[in-house]
Amino acid sequence: MTDLARLPPEIQVIAGPVEARLRQVLDAEVERWAGVDSDLVAPLLALGELVLGGGKRLRPAFCHWAFVGAGGDPTDAVTVDAGAAFELLHAFALMHDDVMDGSATRRGARTIHIDFAQRHGDGSWRGEGRRFGEGVAILVGDLAAVYADRLLLDAPVEARRVWHELEIELEIGQYLDVLGTARGGVGIDTARRIACYKSGKYTIERPLHLGAALAGRLDELAEPLSDYGSPLGEAFQLRDDILGTFGDSTRTGKPVGDDLREGKPTPLLAVATARVGDAGGALLSRVGAADLTDDEVRALQDLLVETGATGEIEASIARLTTQAIAAIERAPIGEPARSPLVTLAHYVADREH
């Protein structure tokens, strides 16, 4: 379960109701399908453990405060359903991402495809355990996406348009990420494009747009909210890149240097690649290698610092965050939402997990 006490009050205000809604939806589905076949309980419980087992609840928070800023009633349950939909869609993305990356852990626990591969082995079932585990993870991820869509069935047409565009952008960004990883590195412009579509828009800009659409003011607020959400979304992903390379595994729930092991095409690596000589280039060519050692991870971390790539990315995070805060301070939104959105900008940029 998410430790709500560790989250800022600006997130807690919506995170608690969203978690209660998620639990209500998933408990009902477990009860429903257990009556059909007891074997259906395991994948549904696995989904619940992922969705309720942690997370920052950023997407519900940005959606909620945009809705309030657009004049919506902060007690309206419409943002609770939207927030729950975001968390389920995020679970879908995480499960598929873990399969594509071959990740063994997520939020400090075994990933779903690894867990079900183990169940396959424990049961001495037929076929290949890896394929079974990955197949289950894909199916559970798809189920999460369907549940997310169902929560927004009664949303206004404009809100559903935003939602579907968000889903498309997420898939486009994921493809670019997979392609960049396979090719073994990308330029800075492509790396930024991947960050924008895979994470930035989906985490901040589109949740803001959905909140405004739920309040019936998207036409008026789309541009000023983008002026805030677009740079902040980029700052969010750049911070993710730093954490994926240098982050403490006890905080991130992923192995140290995970992005280096997976060969993620990040702006951080793109900046370093443009700056290193032959010796550094040889080391950077090891990024994404299946046999990358802990010593090589540490050497790569040192190289990223020595080339100034880490410093440049940190400076970009600070600049983008300042730009976002200036945008929301002049945006035509209700005052009750302005201060929370400023606080969330600092939280996104400075977080440690």
Tracing tokens 């997990």 back to the chain, one arrives at 353
The pLDDT of residue 252: 62
Q: Give me the torsion for CA of 344, 345, 347, 349, rounded to 10°.
A: 160
Q: Measure Cα distances from 222 to 130, 219, 225 in Å.
A: 44, 6, 5
Q: What is the CATH number of the domain that holds 230?
A: 1.10.600.10
The pLDDT of residue 251: 66
Q: Which of 330, 281, 329, 322 is nearest to 303 (CA)?
A: 281
Tracing tokens 């209700």 back to the chain, one arrives at 334
SS3 helix, strand, coil % of the chain, rounded to 5?
75, 0, 20
The pLDDT of residue 1: 57
Question: In a 10 Å sphere around its CB, with 0-12 CB exposed, 13-18 middle and 19+ buried, how is residue 353 labelled?
Answer: middle
The pLDDT of residue 183: 85
Q: Cβ distance 15 to 2 under 8 Å?
A: yes
pLDDT digits (tens, 9 = 90+) for 160-208: 999 999 999 999 999 998 898 888 777 888 888 988 888 889 999 999 9
Q: Domain containing 20: what range?
A: 4-350
Question: In a 10 Å sphere around its CB, with 0-12 CB exposed, 13-18 middle and 19+ buried, how is residue 301 labelled?
Answer: middle
Number of domains in the chain: 1
Sequential pLDDT tens for the chain (353 residues)? 567 778 999 999 999 999 999 999 999 999 999 999 999 999 999 999 999 998 899 999 999 999 999 999 999 999 999 999 999 999 999 999 999 988 898 888 899 999 999 999 999 999 999 999 999 999 999 999 999 999 999 999 999 999 999 999 999 999 998 898 888 777 888 888 988 888 889 999 999 999 999 999 999 999 999 999 999 999 999 999 999 899 777 666 667 788 898 888 889 998 998 888 777 888 998 998 888 999 999 999 999 999 999 999 999 999 999 999 999 999 999 999 999 999 999 999 998 87
What is the full DSSP assignment across 271-309? HHHHH--HHHHHHHTTTT-TT--HHHHHHHHHHHHHTTH
Rounded distance between C-alpha atoms, residue 220 and residue 226, angstroms: 11
Q: Which of 187, 169, 155, 349 is nearest to 266 (CA)?
A: 187
pLDDT digits (tens, 9 = 90+) for 49-99: 999 998 899 999 999 999 999 999 999 999 999 999 999 999 999 999 999
Widest distance between CA atoms in the chain: 63
The pLDDT of residue 254: 67
